[in-house]
Amino acid sequence: MKKLVPIVFLHNIKKVNGGLHKAAYHRINTLSKVYKRAIIFTYGFDPEFQELCKYHKEVGNIAENVEIYNLYENNNADSSTQKYEKNPNYTYFADAKQKNTYRVFDEKGRYHYYLRLHEDGTANFKDVFTTPWKRYLKEIYGQNGKVRKAIYMDDRNKPSFNVLYSNEGKPVVSSSLHKDNFRPVNYFCHLNERQYTDEISMGVDVLKEFIKDIPHPLLFIEKREHVKPFNRIKGANIKKIYILHNNHLDTPFTDIHKFSPSVDDLFESIENDEIDKLVVLTKEQQEDINKIKHIEDKIKVISHHQPKLTKFMEKLPENKDPLIISLARYHNAKNLPEAIDIVKEVVKKIPKVRFEIYGYGPDKEKLQKQIDDAGLKDNIFLKGHVNNTIDRLKQAKLYLSTSNYEGFPLALLESLACGVPIVSYNTKYGPIEIIRENKDGFVIDKLSNDRIKQAAEKVIQILQMPENEYKKMQKNALEITKRQHEKKINKLWLELLDELS
């Protein structure tokens, strides 16, 4: 077996996450087949962490032999549940409006706490009061019935101080909370008796302790804000790879000389040999970076793989309805207002066209207002987040992308793997290396003044295409699974790690 121990550092492993997590899971799964140990280390608090580990392994997101750790969890802790035991000296008044919920009074008749239990008899939460009826503490319990979070209230009955506990019920982090947004302003970490002003630095320091017993750790850095804290982890036996998941340019994300300030730490760390390799997802991005930074010996292109998805259908659907799909966060990065404007033009030619946008984000209300104001509520629908996008993609006749910036969009790969052609702006980076012009879609010049008109024309062309021509595009689209075959991508990762060994 190989001597390196690959470690992915993430905030959480929640069920709903984006392409970064999907790519990180695939990478660590690949390496777990070759390396003796492969690890995901997370630093965010989540009382459902153990259940999330089981979920991801059951559905196949994370391989069974990948080790998953969390700052707040002891994987060897007693997993038995602790049911709530009623105090025989207290009185329990059932809440008529809430099941398994009680107002609890102590032996002197004073209101003590408001208690809710799970169906299995373990505690859900407890609001603790002083007399008369003033809440000063809320305790939240984990699935094992042990307290996981204590929230202390101020005189306004608002959160002012947190204590987060391990799955064993031991205090891990204490934090004062901002009086308005209730977010932590500091982190007192009981694991190493150190105080922090940010969660990332705390997580990295705990990781630093974690890897002391690992002879040859290989650390994957996934986010720009992680770079500087990771510079504190040093050692001749330690290797670091940064994965640049997105565009590195500053707004408007097209001038290759204008780097975003958010990557200053990254390129300074590369120049100072604090990061061993930089991985980008496209040749275009590699070339753009090398024109300015000249780090040819430290940069490598490894894009995402795309497995076959045709197992979801016996054969490709025929005579599809005019359905357009986008999988995109409701965020400025995805430039959805222009996608809506494109479909507005399409509606003039194809009144029954339907455009479904699957995602989540802060711009939902603004986008809905644009749809309503344009009179398109019968054509354009914000569908929210769904776990299984493949079922919807395979019904679509076309995928539309108008992003301001990308890295190597997984949604475009999945669309083609479902036999769905694409109309996309030539966003940096990805579309021009994924889409083959007039074979499986069309790429529109993002800087063109009439880009909306051009995109609308190509959308209409595909939607009104004769069935035999559309079938050719569908078959061409499916070739993405050969072009981005898993074995090809896996080989690149293994070669890179061999180079670092």
CA distance 409 to 330: 15
Q: CATH number of the domain that 120 lies in?
A: 3.90.930.1
**pLDDT score, position 414:** 93
In a domain, 135, yes or no: yes
**pLDDT score, position 315:** 72
Low-confidence residues in the chain, pLDDT < 70 = 1, 310-314
Helix (H) or strand (E) holding 425: strand 422-425
Query: Residues 407, 259: one domain?
Result: no
Query: Residues 448, 411: one domain?
Result: yes
Query: Residues 163, 243: one domain?
Result: no
Round the CA-based radius of gyration of the chain to a whole number and report it: 26
Q: Where are the beta strands (DSSP E) in 131-273?
A: 134-141, 147-153, 159-165, 171-176, 187-189, 194-196, 217-221, 239-243
Contact criterion met (CB below 8 Å) for 147 and 124: no
CA distance 82 to 124: 12
In a domain, 78, yes or no: no
Distances from the Cα of 339 to the Cα of 178, 180, 356, 422, angstroms: 38, 36, 11, 13
In a domain, 436, yes or no: yes
Task: Read off the pTM.
Answer: 0.88
CA distance 399 to 434: 13
Q: Considering 250, 276, 301, which residue would you say is the last residue of a domain?
A: 301
Contact criterion met (CB below 8 Å) for 160 and 152: yes
- Helix, strand and coil percent figures for the chain, each rounded to 5: 30, 25, 45
Query: Residues 380, 469: one domain?
Result: yes
Query: Residues 20, 40: one domain?
Result: yes
Query: Residues 245, 370: one domain?
Result: no
In a domain, 253, yes or no: yes
Strands 5-10 and 39-42: parallel
Range of the domain at 294: 5-71+199-301
Q: Which residues does 2 contact at the CB level (< 8 Å), separation at least 6? A: 34, 35, 36, 497, 498, 501
**pLDDT score, position 314:** 55
**pLDDT score, position 310:** 55
Question: SS3 of 402, please?
Answer: coil
Helices (H), 214-298: 227-230, 264-271, 283-293
In a domain, 489, yes or no: no
- Please give the distance of CA 446 from its chain centroid, rounded to a whole number: 26
Which structure tokens are listed for 61? 């997101």
CA distance 285 to 293: 12
In a domain, 111, yes or no: yes
Q: CATH number of the domain that 58 lies in?
A: 3.40.50.2000
CA distance 407 to 22: 14
**pLDDT score, position 81:** 85
Query: Residues 375, 408: one domain?
Result: yes
Residue found under tokens 């259940």: 51
Max CA pair span of the chain: 83
Q: How many residues does the chain have?
A: 501
Count of domains for the chain: 3
Query: Residues 59, 162: one domain?
Result: no
Query: Residues 184, 269: one domain?
Result: no
CA distance 204 to 219: 11
In a domain, 425, yes or no: yes
- In single-letter form, the type of residue at position 1 comes to M
Q: Considering 259, 283, 301, which residue would you say is the last residue of a domain?
A: 301
**pLDDT score, position 337:** 98
Query: Residues 457, 320: one domain?
Result: yes
Q: Considering 234, 268, 301, which residue would you say is the last residue of a domain?
A: 301
Query: Residues 314, 443: one domain?
Result: yes
In a domain, 108, yes or no: yes
- Please give the distance of CA 234 from its chain centroid, rounded to a whole number: 28
CA distance 411 to 401: 9
Query: Residues 12, 100: one domain?
Result: no
